[in-house]
């Protein structure tokens, strides 16, 4: 029986043929990956859409670097924001400056959270990002901009043009609102300018802003209710508007430096006059005891101002200023008047000039010798109230008839003169002996002492 020689079979992998086949396969795949840029691992084509038609980083769309995966992907790490920003330098600039849309996102370093890819050449990345986009991060909410004035849905392109999907032209706001409220917008633009976003946040916090709302910051009562917004908020600036009066109302020259700048201590929003004080209406005659009835105009007919008399700090008043002012008009009279009565003018005068054209006869007739008497003869130390009216208060009883006739001087004497005296009432006839009225010494032979 013929024997055949047994041939040893080679290992299917670790044989020359196996090694050669494996090498050819790996080399082929490597070359394919090298020349296709990793297309073998590509989950889908990149978008070829470019709404603005502008190059970014030297490319018109992501499809231009379809096979250059490392443009966005780092080996074993995935998408890196830094690689995206190599082309999208505006995003990097916004993050660096802390301004712009991409400076407001918490996930700004995770580009793929908003911007998806590998969805095909016709995939609209912008539309996909807008679908879940929270517009409030821009500082402008769309809560009140879901529908236009006609009730139709507002789309992004109503406010944002395709050429500038992020930037917002304020003229678009104006054009839209002018169609609905032309008169209001004309006044509004004149008062606050065209930068709508400087005041409005899309929630329309100012659209239904009432006087009650404003009162939380500043009550618009009295004449303040008639003022325009621009009257206090210059250039459309609302934040930090001062609430103190002097910021809008300059201190008038009439009381500059006298009352301070707390205008509300005397004035109310109902009007500059009348002034109020604590908080009743201020009446100079009642509250100070001095009427301004005869101090409306000065000697030269110029109006009196508060600081005309109150020349000291914080409304201080020096009574000597009265004599100084009146002395300029009539120096001779004032010199004599001050010498006679002193310079405490308010001890006699109350502003209504109660001493001017005073009829002394109402209190005490100045007749006879009394007409020539000086005021200080009866009114010592310029004290007028309570001056006694009986004769003996000024004329001491003479020793001649002390204790004989009593103190009713007017029973015998008149203001014309001390003598002759005339006895008005005598119980014994003074025509004794039919000789007419006889002298006292006829019967009273001794002296009256």
Contacts of 173 (CB under 8 A, 6+ apart): 159, 196
**The length of the chain, given as a count of residues:** 449
The β-bridge partners of 153 are 147
pLDDT at residue 449 is higher than 50: no
pLDDT in tens, 152-200: 988 887 887 766 556 677 788 888 899 888 888 888 888 778 888 877 8
Name the packing angle between helices 331-341 and 320-329 (round to 10°).
150
User: Across the strands, what pairs with 271?
Assistant: 268
In the 8-state DSSP scheme, what is residue 439?
P
The pLDDT tens digits for 433-445 are 777 777 777 787 7
Distances from the Cα of 412 to the Cαs of 319, 391, 418, in angstroms? 46, 12, 9
Phi-psi region of 342 (alpha: psi -120 to 50; beta: other; left: phi over 0): left
pTM equals 0.40
Cross-strand pairs, 281? 276
DSSP string for residues in 48-67: ---SS---BTTBSSGGGGTT
* Burial class for 189, CB neighbours closer than 10 Å (0-12, 13-18, 19+): middle
Strand ranges (E), 8-74: 73-74
Q: Where are the alpha helices (DSSP H) in 289-387?
A: 306-309, 320-329, 331-341, 375-378
Q: What pLDDT sits at residue 200?
A: 83
pLDDT for residue 83: 92
DSSP letter for 294, please. Answer: T
Strands of 271-379, DSSP E: 276-277, 280-281
Distance CA 285, CA 297 (A): 16
pLDDT in tens, 248-296: 888 877 676 666 778 887 888 888 877 776 656 677 888 788 888 888 8
Q: Convert the pLDDT of each residue in 85-140 to its tens digit.
A: 999 998 889 888 888 788 888 888 888 888 889 988 899 887 778 777 888 888 78
Q: Two tokens at 127?
A: 């539309």
Instruction: Answer whether residue 2 shows pLDDT above 60.
Output: no
């Amino acid at each position: 029986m013929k024997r055949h020689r047994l041939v040893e079979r080679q290992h299917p992998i670790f044989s020359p043929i196996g090694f050669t086949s494996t090498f050819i396969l790996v080399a082929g795949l490597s070359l394919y990956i090298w020349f296709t840029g990793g297309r073998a691992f590509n989950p889908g084509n990149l978008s070829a859409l470019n709404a603005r038609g502008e190059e970014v980083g030297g490319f018109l769309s992501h499809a231009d670097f379809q096979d250059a995966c490392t443009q966005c992907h780092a080996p074993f790490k995935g998408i890196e924001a830094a690689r995206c920003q190599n082309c999208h330098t505006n995003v990097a600039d916004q993050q660096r400056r802390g301004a712009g849309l991409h400076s407001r996102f918490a996930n700004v370093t995770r580009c793929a959270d908003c911007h998806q890819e590998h969805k095909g050449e016709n995939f609209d990345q912008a539309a996909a990002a807008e679908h879940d986009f929270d517009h409030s991060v821009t500082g402008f909410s769309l809560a009140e901009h879901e529908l236009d004035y006609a009730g139709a849905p507002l789309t992004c392109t109503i406010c944002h043009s395709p050429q500038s999907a992020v930037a917002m032209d304020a003229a678009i706001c104006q054009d839209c609102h002018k169609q609905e409220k032309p008169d209001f917008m004309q006044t509004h633009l004149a008062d606050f300018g065209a930068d709508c976003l400087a005041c409005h946040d899309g929630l329309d916090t100012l659209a239904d802003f009432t006087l009650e709302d404003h009162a939380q910051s500043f009550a618009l009562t009295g004449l303040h209710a008639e003022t325009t917004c621009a009257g206090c908020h210059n250039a459309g600036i609302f934040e930090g508007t001062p609430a103190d009066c002097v910021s809008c109302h300059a201190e008038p020259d009439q009381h500059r430096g006298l009352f301070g700048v707390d205008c509300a201590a005397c004035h109310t929003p109902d009007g500059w006059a009348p002034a109020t004080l604590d908080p009743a209406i201020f009446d100079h005659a009642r509250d100070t005891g001095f009427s301004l009835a005869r101090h409306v105009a000065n000697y030269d007919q110029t109006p009196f101002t508060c600081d005309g008399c109150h020349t000291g700090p914080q409304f201080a008043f020096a009574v000597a200023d009265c004599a100084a002012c009146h002395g300029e008009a009539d120096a001779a009279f004032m010199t004599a008047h001050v010498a006679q009565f002193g310079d405490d003018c308010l001890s006699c005068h109350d502003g209504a000039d109660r001493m001017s054209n005073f009829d002394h006869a109402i209190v005490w007739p100045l007749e006879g010798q009394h007409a020539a008497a000086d005021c200080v003869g009866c009114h010592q130390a310029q004290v007028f109230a309570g001056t006694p009216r009986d004769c003996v208060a000024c004329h001491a009883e003479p020793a001649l008839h002390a204790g004989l006739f009593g103190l009713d001087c007017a029973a015998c004497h008149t203001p014309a003169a001390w003598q002759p005296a005339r006895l008005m009432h005598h119980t014994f006839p003074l025509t004794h002996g039919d000789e007419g009225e006889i002298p006292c010494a006829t019967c009273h032979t001794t002296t009256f002492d």
